[in-house]
Amino acid sequence: MASDSDTTYTVGPKAAHTQTVIFLHGRDSNCREFANELFESDASEPANQPRTLPDLFPGIRWVFPSAPILQSERFGTDMSQWFDMWSVENLAERSELQHPGLHQSVEQILWVLKKEEMLVPRERIFLAGISQGFATVIAVLFAAAPKRFARLIGLCSWMPAALCAEDFQSFEDTSDGKSSRSTPVFLGHPIDDEVVPIKNGRDLRDTFQSRRFQVEWREYEDGGHWVNEPQGVDDIARFINSHMLDKSSERSGG
Rounded to an integer, the average pLDDT of 212-226 is: 95
Give the HSE-up count for residue 122: Cα atoms under 13 Å, Cβ half-sphere: 15
Q: Is the pLDDT of residue 249 over 70?
A: no
Closest CA to 212 of 173, 158, 174, 176: 173
Residue 226 has pLDDT above 80, yes or no: yes
On the question of a cis peptide bond just before residue 190, with omega within 30 degrees of 0, the verdict is no
Minimum mean pLDDT among 7-11, 166-170, 182-186: which range? Answer: 166-170
CA distance 213 to 236: 18
Q: How far is residue 46's CA from residue 116's CA, in Å, rounded to a whole number?
A: 30
Reduced 3-state DSSP string for 167-224: HHHHCCCCCCCCEHHHCCEEEEEECCCCCCCHHHHHHHHHHHHHCCCCEEEEEECCCC
* Residue 169 · residue 146 · CB < 8 Å: no
Answer whether residue 218 shows pLDDT above 60: yes
Tens-place pLDDT, residues 15-28: 999 999 999 999 99
pLDDT tier at 162 (50, 70, 90 boundaries)? confident
Residue 121, judged by CB atoms within 10 A of its CB (0-12, 13-18, 19+), counts as exposed
Rounded Cα gap, residues 193 and 190, in angstroms: 6
CATH 3.40.50.1820 is held by the domain 2-252: yes
- Which tens digit of pLDDT belongs to each residue from 89-148? 887 888 888 888 999 999 999 999 999 999 999 999 999 999 999 999 999 998 888 888
Helix then strand then coil, in percent of the chain rounded to 5, is: 35, 20, 45
pLDDT of residue 194: 95
| Per-residue pLDDT tens digits for 228-244 | 999 999 999 999 999 87
156: left (phi over 0), alpha (psi -120 to 50) or beta: left
pLDDT at position 199: 95
